[in-house]
Amino acid sequence: MMQLWDSVASWTARRSEIGGRTIGFVPTMGALHAGHASLVRRCRAENEVAVVSIFVNPTQFNDPRDLERYPRTLAGDLALLESLGADEVLTPAAADFYPHGYRYRMQPASAALMEAAHRPGFLQGVLTIVMKLLNLVRPQRAYFGEKDFQQLRSVTEMVEEFFIPTAIVACPTVRAASGLAESSRNARLSPHGREQAAALYRALTSGRNPEDARRILEAEGLAVEYVEEHWGRRLAAVFLEGVRLIDNVPVPKTGAAE
């Protein structure tokens, strides 16, 4: 039976009982969708104990309105996790994760690129909470989706840099039939907006270069924040119906990675 832990203290006591069994971990901010489900299924298949966290981390939001609007669907999330076979679910409050405020934080190296450049403090907040969670859960493996590629890369580098004994497992992006990447933010789009948002994937895969992909996106009515190529990937962030969406794909053969 799945167990729920709503404080750091209660989870710490439970963690000592798990002992040497292999632990897989999926950190989330809730509003779970098919992409999260794929991570949990893989975690469940590859480990003796599957642990999931649900925590809307305030330190990674540079816009307070975005934090307020982030969907919170705890009851549905817990029902989904139980159906997927999760063993342990962590849901502590912000005051428990940051009992003394945001005093210490992880500083990413790629501060001038993409998400870090356009969302001040975002990667810093992500890395800080992931470091806290990895220290609390102490998993052998942690699972992250490729949709948030810069986040995935930053977490992987942090774990290597600080000799954290957790393998970061990269998992493919889950997409709708239209190509739209599954995201918690999709819930804020209208049905027409979801159809229109599929242009993001089409532009990234068909554009000859970032400039061409930007042109396609703008022609489809999406407001483009960036389209860039790094690490063999083509990455973009756009706005549609007031919702910020990101996606990335391997650089198409017609493109040239940085």
Check residue 60 and report its DSSP letter. G
- CB distance 123 to 108 below 8 Å: yes
Mean pLDDT over residues 159-174, rounded? 98
**Superfamily of domain 184-248, CATH level 4:** Pantoate-beta-alanine ligase, C-terminal domain (3.30.1300.10)
Closest CA to 145 of 156, 131, 133, 159: 156
Which of 33, 36, 118, 192 is flagged as catalytic? 36
What are 247's strand-pairing partners?
Answer: 236
Whether 192 is catalytic is no
Q: In whole angstroms, give the CA distance from residue 247 to residue 234.
A: 9
* Position 257 pLDDT exceeds 50: no
Closest by Cα among 149, 167, 159, 170 to 106:
159
| Short-list 87, 80, 99, CA closest to 52 | 87
3-171 matches 184-248 in fold: no
For domain 3-171, the CATH class is alpha beta
Measured between alpha carbons, how far is residue 147 from residues 84, 182, 248 in Å?
21, 9, 6
pLDDT digits (tens, 9 = 90+) for 39-52: 999 999 999 999 99
Please tell me the predicted confidence (pLDDT) of residue 111: 60
pTM above threshold 0.85 = yes
pLDDT at 54 over 50: yes
